[in-house]
Structure 1
């Protein structure tokens, strides 16, 4: 079975990498999971502590759009970590691809 995989890459404002990771680890990723979003992996890039990635998997491209629309319009997100996260991000890139489930599981990091 294939999955739709979204990879988000963030260039963070200088010196915000540790704060961003704390927000992701303690607040944002648990919030994603409460909303049944499959967070495959997240963390600092090896080349720069102020670069970060978030990998999420979805059943399909269509479900990804629906799930993310619901998540980003929720009070949990808007009244939760949204502003703190956005304040740390200088630029972001998004890539979406279809991968076999086995490949997604190979990217999975247990946190």
Structure 2
């Protein structure tokens, strides 16, 4: 029996500054996601949290990578790129109070089940 290759899945959550979630999500969906994808990063989903912990506005981004090495390399290249630094960076970062990432190993089937893109 052939074993399915593992996929690295990153869940990034954003705690947003009050009143910024609509603009954050608009810029994320209209500008950032196409930019991430054009740079070769695989976006699984993004959106607003269904629960506002402590009344805070929150959003998430889920991305998939072929390996931990690919995760590190692709993030370093993307976040150091002119397209990001001179593009939507300020519109995104200015709305974030803080963020947190969790990275796990999973199957392609699990990634597909989470995908809404």
With the length of structure 1 as denominator, give the TM-score of the two structures.
Answer: 0.96
2:106 counterpart (99, 102, 106)? 99
Aligned to 1:57: 64
Question: Is residue 75 of structure 1 aligned with residue 82 of structure 2?
Answer: yes
Q: Which is greater in Rg?
A: 2
Q: Deviations over 1:49-101 (max 9, x none)?
A: 82000000000000110111110111000000111111000011110000111
Deviating runs (4+, > 3 A) in structure 1?
A: none
How far the C-alpha of 1:40 sits from its partner, in A, is: 0.3
Aligned residues: 110
Q: Higher strand fraction: Structure 1 or Structure 2?
A: 1
Q: Does 1:26 pair with 2:30?
A: yes
TM-score, length basis structure 2: 0.91
Superposition RMSD on alpha carbons, in Å? 1.0
Matched residues in 2 for 1:26 and 1:100: separation?
28
Q: 1-side partners of 2:25 and 2:101: how far apart?
A: 18
- Structure 2 gaps, min length 5: none
Q: What are the ranges of 5 or more consecutive residues in structure 1 without an aligned counterpart?
A: none
